[in-house]
Amino acid sequence: MEFSFPRNTKTVKEIYDAFKADLLIIDNSYQRRKVWLLQDKVRLIETILLNLIIPEIFLWECDIDAETGETVRHIVDGQQRINAIIDYICGNFKLNTKYLLDAEIKEKFGNCVFADLPSETKKAIWGYNLSIVNIDKRCIEQDIKNLFFRLNLTDYSLNEQEKRNSLSSEFGNAAEKLSDNPFWERHKVFSAADIRRMKDVEFCSNILILAREGIIDQTSQQKLNQVYDDLKEDYPDKESDIARVESAMQLIDNLTNEQTASFIAKKAQIYSVFSLVLDLLDNCISMNQEIVDKFTAFVSTYNSFKNEKELIFEKVELVQEYENIKRYKLASSEGINKVGNRMIRFEILKRTCLNEDKNIVEHLERVREEILKQK
């Protein structure tokens, strides 16, 4: 079937009204997610103020409101642009001077919110014409995903995860659902740039694989691509795998305190902590204060270690804990996604947290004291 893609223009006012009336729907499943940095938003508004062209917006007529007869359209590509325009009009950000590039715009409108602009400038924004590509309404959702997948094949600015997300996959849907869990924001694992480039979804994909298959080597994208393809149409264990990871998240919350928070916020370390708590779940080992104390003592000692000077200990127990810290540090410094280094980190954490030596916390604290003396 041949599809048609007629083009036209709509003013900012028309887009604004349609969006506010819920006749323009954002659907993040087609392309990148709605995460723009402030500088991106400011420079888009600057482009409009200069009356220059911005990239086309793709709309898809997907439904008709039964009550009003109004056409409902999905914003297939251009979500970030439309959100930035609407956010500015609604006063959600100002034109921060340090992000403006044009000297005249900077002088006239630097640090202005929409309400601060002169009337003529506001009118110019309302009347600015956006270029629209109307996707044939005969297209179905998969047609649109295929369309953008083909476009992405020649877009070298897209990373592998963004390209994977261009195609439907039940496994991908599960990873995206996990990435929306407040857990990640609570632990400050992902930056705005990570979320913008879907690194959070990629990481959640890796955690799902960890929950399903255990620790594996992931120095390339091959395994992720394979799982996305294998579980494209059918993912029978989807809900149980998500529930298992969510249970692991609760245990990690229990391990988080003032001493461990910065450690857990690092991607390589939180992967290792997931390895630990998933193993606890597999072996029906309950999280208790003793495990939390051992984990906290290990992390506090690890955070103090800088590998600047070799320390000598007489007691065998202290030598053992010091060597564990050194090995863990080395396994966290290079080749962090290699299966060997992942296993080293997991085994040291497990051995520490489940160690039957009641004095292990004291031993770790003694090692930490000696490390701090060298600073």
Question: What would the pLDDT profile of 99-120 be if each residue is shown by its tens digit?
Answer: 999 999 999 999 999 999 999 9
Q: Is residue 242 part of a domain?
A: yes
Calculate ∠ Cα 236-279-255, nearest 5°: 115
CB 328 within 8 A of CB 348: yes
Calculate ∠ Cα 49-55-61, nearest 5°: 115
| Dihedral, 212, 213, 216, 221 alpha carbons, nearest 10 | -50
Mean of pLDDT over the chain: 88
The domain tally of the chain equals: 2
Claim to verify: residue 250 and residue 141 sit in the same structural domain = no
Q: What is the model's pLDDT at position 153?
A: 55
Q: Is residue 32 part of a domain?
A: yes
The alpha carbon dihedral of 115, 120, 123, 129 has a sign of negative
Give pTM, 2 decimals.
0.68
Confidence tier at 75 by pLDDT (50, 70, 90): confident
Q: What is the model's pLDDT at position 21?
A: 87
Q: In what order do the strands lie in the sheet with 71-77?
A: 7-11, 129-135, 57-64, 71-77, 24-26
Claim to verify: residue 113 and residue 244 sit in the same structural domain = no
Using the predicted structure, report yes or no on whether residue 29 has a pLDDT greater than 50.
yes
Q: Is residue 177 part of a domain?
A: no
Domain end, chosen from 109, 136, 157, is at 157
What percentage of the chain exceeds 90 in pLDDT? Answer: 58
Claim to verify: residue 242 and residue 291 sit in the same structural domain = yes
Claim to verify: residue 207 and residue 97 sit in the same structural domain = no
CB 210 within 8 A of CB 274: yes
Q: What is the model's pLDDT at position 372?
A: 87
Claim to verify: residue 111 and residue 239 sit in the same structural domain = no
Claim to verify: residue 224 and residue 299 sit in the same structural domain = yes
Element at 320 (helix H, strand E): helix 316-331
**290: CB partners within 8 A, 6+ apart:** none
Between 28-32, 151-155, 244-248, the lowest mean confidence (pLDDT) is in 151-155
Claim to verify: residue 56 and residue 118 sit in the same structural domain = yes
Residues 206-221, mean pLDDT to the nearest whole number: 89
Q: Is residue 227 part of a domain?
A: yes
Between 104-108, 191-195, 241-245, the lowest mean confidence (pLDDT) is in 191-195
What pLDDT digit, counting tens, does each position of 305-317 carry?
Answer: 887 678 888 888 8
Claim to verify: residue 194 and residue 287 sit in the same structural domain = yes
Confidence tier at 156 by pLDDT (50, 70, 90): very low
Q: What is the model's pLDDT at position 30?
A: 61
Claim to verify: residue 363 and residue 271 sit in the same structural domain = yes
Using the predicted structure, report yes or no on whether residue 128 has a pLDDT greater than 90.
yes
Q: Is residue 2 part of a domain?
A: no
Confidence tier at 299 by pLDDT (50, 70, 90): very high
**Domain boundaries, position 253:** 186-373
Q: Is residue 308 part of a domain?
A: yes
Claim to verify: residue 199 and residue 115 sit in the same structural domain = no
Confidence tier at 127 by pLDDT (50, 70, 90): very high
What percentage of the chain exceeds 70 in pLDDT? Answer: 91
Q: What is the model's pLDDT at position 36?
A: 78
Closest listed residue to residue 180, CA positions, set 200, 209, 163 = 200
β pairing state of 129-135 and 7-11:
antiparallel
Distance (Å, rounded) from C-alpha 199 to C-alpha 205?
Answer: 10
Backbone angles phi, psi at 133, to 5 degrees: -105, 120
Using the predicted structure, report yes or no on whether residue 24 has a pLDDT greater than 60.
yes
Greater confidence (265 vs 143) lies with: 265
What pLDDT digit, counting tens, does each position of 320-344 carry?
Answer: 999 999 999 999 988 888 999 999 9
Residues 195-222, mean pLDDT to the nearest whole number: 89
Q: What is the model's pLDDT at position 96?
A: 95
Calculate ∠ Cα 219-224-230, nearest 5°: 145
Q: Is residue 181 part of a domain?
A: no
Residues 269-291, mean pLDDT to the nearest whole number: 96
